[in-house]
């Protein structure tokens, strides 16, 4: 889609979240699209969305599909987590519920550090992974993935960000995600990479809903690391992934 076409695309997009920090990040990353981005706080009639999957992609897809069906809007949902190699990839998709729904971010971070207390620096490798799903009424959701490689710090540092940001070192200079500026984080984060990968398809879905376009260039379903698609389904909705290389 050309720059002129992007400027012509307008629409309301529902973020399937009530998390204010997450909504702020997504609005900033998509600010150049000039979309009317609302959240579930603006649609109180929508109840809790299902997270019944065992993968990030399944959880993001189920939430986006449910939000689109309930509201008739184009919906975006994400699921993300931290994967720590010394913990065999845990907490992974269970990151948000690690230690239970009532645990605070600080409690989860301190528990992670306690589990890694005897792990040397060269074995503290970890990554943030995000899956972003785009859904609209009558269309199956499509999921796009982003990674941010790093390691676990020895102690929490920084007051920005949320979740595991104070213990996740994502930069070569040793700063944690919580020590980065808002703009720096949104350049390198797993969520930003997944959202940028999803952007062409999101614009196409909005334009298609308005009857403006039949085809649009494709987007990757994984960004930040090589691998297989995060999620796939038959190409039955008119979306043409082939013109920019398709999935990788």
- Residues with a catalytic annotation lie at 79
- CA 126, 230, 58: angle at the middle one, nearest 5? 95
What are 209's strand-pairing partners?
A: none
Torsions phi, psi of 112, nearest 5? -60, -45
CA-CA distance, 190 to 176, in Å (whole number)?
14
Q: Facing residues of 127 across strands? A: 83, 149
- CA–CA gap between residue 148 and residue 116 (Å, rounded): 20
Q: Phi and psi for 23 in degrees, rounded to 5?
A: -60, -40
Alpha-carbon gap, residue 98 to 11, rounded angstroms: 36
**Do the beta carbons of residue 44 and residue 26 sit within 8 Å?**
no
Burial letters 35-56, b for 16+ CB under 10 A, else e = bebbbbeeeeebeebebebebb
Three-state SS at 108: helix
Question: Phi and psi (nearest 5°) for 215?
Answer: -135, 155
Q: At what angle do helices 190-209 and 20-29 cross, to 10 degrees?
A: 70
Please choose, from the candidates 63, 42, 223, the residue with its C-alpha nearest in 3D space to the C-alpha of residue 134: 63
């Amino acid at each position: 889609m050309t720059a002129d076409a992007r400027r012509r695309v307008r629409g309301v997009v529902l973020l399937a979240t009530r998390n204010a920090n997450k909504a702020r990040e997504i609005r900033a990353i998509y600010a150049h699209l000039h979309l009317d981005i609302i959240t579930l706080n603006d649609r109180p009639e929508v109840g809790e969305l299902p997270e019944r999957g065992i993968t990030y992609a399944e959880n993001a897809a189920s939430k986006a599909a449910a939000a689109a069906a309930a509201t008739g809007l184009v919906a975006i949902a994400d699921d993300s987590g931290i994967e720590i190699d010394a913990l065999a990839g845990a907490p992974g998709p269970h990151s948000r519920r690690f230690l239970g729904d009532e645990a605070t971010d600080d409690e989860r971070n301190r528990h992670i550090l306690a589990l890694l207390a005897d792990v040397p620096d060269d074995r503290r490798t970890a990554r943030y992974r995000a899956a972003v799903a785009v859904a609209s009424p009558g269309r199956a959701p499509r999921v796009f993935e982003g990674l941010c490689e790093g390691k676990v710090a020895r102690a929490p540092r920084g007051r920005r960000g949320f979740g595991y940001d104070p213990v996740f070192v994502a930069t070569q200079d040793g700063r944690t995600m919580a020590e980065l500026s808002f703009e720096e984080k949104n350049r390198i984060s797993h969520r930003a990479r997944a959202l940028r990968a999803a952007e062409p398809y999101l614009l196409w879905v909005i334009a298609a809903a308005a009857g403006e376009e039949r085809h649009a260039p494709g987007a990757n379903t994984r960004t930040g690391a090589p691998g297989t698609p995060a999620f796939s389904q038959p190409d039955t909705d008119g979306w043409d992934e082939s013109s920019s290389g398709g999935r990788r």
